[in-house]
Amino acid sequence: MISLHLLSIVLAQIIDQLIGDPGWLPHPVKGFGKMISWLDRALNRGNNKKLKGLLMLFLILAITLVLSFLLVSYAYSVHLVLGVCIESLLISTTIAARGLKEAGRSVYDPLVRGDLEEARTKLSWIVGRDTQGLSSQEIVRGAVETVAENTSDGVTAPLFFAFIGGAPLALLYRAVNTCDSMVGYKNDRYRDFGWASARLDDVLNYIPARLTALLMVFGAMIHKRLTFSWLKEQAGHHPSPNSGWGEAAVAGLLGIRLGGTNIYNGRVSYRPFIGRAEYSLEPVHIEQTIVIMQQAVTWFTITLLAAGGIYIVAAYSWS
């Protein structure tokens, strides 16, 4: 079965590169969002909010896992080709390599034209911080951080779980990630209700985030020596236990500094710096971050294929 997962993973990446996430195509994340919003309104009230948040998470994951497993199993029971096609399509909805590239370039293009207003607007579409009045360097920082941070969440982590359990597990990961993005906030409304979603997202991203950072460094066509201990130290400056790894790798490879002051809904938030400012932030760093992301994804896929090949050979020899 793992050979079919590997084939589906490769085809899913091809699908993502060819069509991305067109608005006309039904997308599982939209379904997750609607279910989460409904359960949020129904359950996020009164006492025992942690327990209710855990119930919401369980219901979302149970529905996702059961429906996707039944769909994929039925497709494979009809024909292997149909099974691979359905599984590839489902996995492709969990990854966003093309979307990340397009998001970064949507900010890069107006920047190189000198149109800061459009660049700020495009950045506001992909970050949560306020973008009004940002300088060119701060716009670059926002775009670089977004691509670097989301390389794991948006591409390599779903592929990692697809390798382990095919489309059902990739979709389960994406459901957890969506729950965290919608209710995993440390504010009065979601501190308790979103606790389970945030913690499970941290657990699931632990290995993929670190593996992604290592493959960013390994696969980059930039000859800089970055040790694991340096990456760990710099990643620790990020408030998330996982999100800082991609940023640390990119900052170290490009010789730039990320982090600093952001404003969210008029409220100032400071985050410790990641990396050393050997160079000033320039629009070209957005393009370079996209290249690092693409190279890391390529090496991640090669790693999965190699691991799958070793598993298949070992299983065949054992049998």
Instruction: Give helix then strand counts, H and E, for the chain.
Output: 12, 2
Q: What's the length of the chain?
A: 319
Q: Residue 251, SS3?
A: helix
The token duo for 173 is: 């990961």
pLDDT value at residue 313? 66
Q: How far apart are CA 167 and CA 165, in angstroms?
A: 7
315 or 119, greater pLDDT: 119
Torsion angle defined by CA atoms of residues 181, 184, 185 and 186, in that order, rounded to the nearest 10 degrees: -160
Q: Find the mean pLDDT for residues 274-296.
A: 94
Other beta carbons within 10 angstroms of residue 164's beta carbon come to: 12
Residue 247 has pLDDT above 80, yes or no: yes
The string of pLDDT tens digits covering residues 248-266 is 999 999 999 999 999 888 8
Neighbouring CB atoms inside 10 A of 56's CB total 24
First to last CA, the chain: 15
**What ranges do the domains of the chain cover?**
2-318
Residues β-bridged to residue 270: 261
Q: Is-contact 123 134, C-beta < 8 A?
A: yes
- Contacts of the segment 76-80: beta carbons below 8 A, 24+ positions apart: 76/4, 80/4
Residues 6 or more apart whose Cβ sits within 8 Å of residue 2: 163, 308, 311, 312
Q: What is the pLDDT of residues 189-237, one digit of tens each?
A: 899 999 999 999 999 999 999 999 998 988 776 667 788 899 999 999 9
The mean pLDDT value of the chain amounts to 91
pLDDT at 276: 92
Helical (H) or strand (E) element with 273: strand 267-274
Count of Cβ atoms closer than 10 Å to residue 72 Cβ: 22
Q: Which two tokens stand for residue 200?
A: 């499970």
- 82-141: pLDDT as tens digits: 999 999 999 999 999 999 999 999 999 999 999 999 999 999 999 989 999 899 999 999
Could you tell me the pTM of the whole model?
0.92
**What is the mean pLDDT of the segment spanning 181-190?**
88
Q: Identify the pLDDT of residue 221.
A: 62
What does the pLDDT look like over 37-75, one tens digit per residue? Answer: 999 999 999 889 999 999 999 999 999 999 999 999 999
pLDDT at residue number 46? 87
